[in-house]
Homo-oligomer: A and B are copies of this chain.
């Protein structure tokens, strides 16, 4: 039925070892034999069975990817970066969605390991103790993409979130704002609390602006949450005049909330985002945003993973990528 390396060997009058050699590009094959074998492979339309290969070699040429949700542009960009580099190094990726559920993450990790993936790249707002434990016992390298884990005990690729947040908020402070709100995903996750929020607070303190808890709201990273946050904050006695948004969707919700209230962005309200997905250009006014290079984070993570898989020397396992602020029209 299916044709195997054994069929090719027989037809070509060589041993299966020789066929294996030509398939794997081993140089120890006489050109003439190689041609002969190649011809038979062509004629029989032989296709190596990667599963058998994986069992024998203990390498599957596939890596696992654990992300919160592929239908979110944010993660989709990241995955594209991972996939492009994976392809370049001849790996395929098994994609899984965790929806940020710790239990699911652990279970996905387990499934991926049972499938003998050669490595894993994982992204999450928060790495639980159990996950950390499982990652430690894993027999495949795992790299964290855009994911902070305070001990830095795992290879990772990130940007200086805190510095970036400070820069972003300073941008607003420079324009004279005293009432600056911070709207982001759940404040309880380390990335939001210890980095973005911390940077926000530091920037305010440096400018002698009092931190007002009323101006800090943790929601989800969605458009509707941005809209809702606007509704909530605009009815404050002393409402904010500027916003630091944790994601583009939130920022766009804020813009529309303000516009629906008859306000002008950036003349009445200024907004800076932290993401810069393709959405940033698809609003009016276009979003000023800290550039979170998702594609690059994915690509670099995958590249880093290949180094681990090939046991190459690693100069720095916690990579920090540069960031910048893309000036557009929501900040004057």
Contacts and interface: CB of A to CB of B under 8 A. Distances in A.
A318 to B, nearest CB: 26
A80 interface: yes
Given A70-B70, A76-B71, A282-B279, A115 B51 contact: yes
Given A259-B284, A284-B256, A284-B259, A83 B97 contact: yes
Contact of A48 (B114, B137, B252, B283): B114
Q: How large is the interface on A (under 10, 10 to 19, 20 to 34, 35 or more residues)?
A: 35 or more
Q: What is the oligomeric copy number?
A: 2
A226 to B, nearest CB: 10
B80 A95 contact: no
Contacts of A116: 49-51
A279 to B, nearest CB: 7
Contact of A49 (B47, B92, B114, B284): B114
A80 B70 contact: yes
A277 to B, nearest CB: 9
Nearest to A252: B282
Interface stretch (A54-62, A186-194, A324-332): A54-62
A interface SS class: helix
A249 interface: yes
A256 to B, nearest CB: 6
Contacts of A259: 284
Interface in A51-106: 51-52, 54-55, 60, 62, 69-73, 76-77, 79-80, 83-84, 87, 92-97
17 contacts: A48-B114, A51-B54, A51-B115, A70-B83, A71-B76, A71-B80, A71-B295, A73-B76, A83-B95, A83-B96, A87-B96, A87-B97, A92-B115, A94-B94, A94-B95, A223-B282, A256-B282
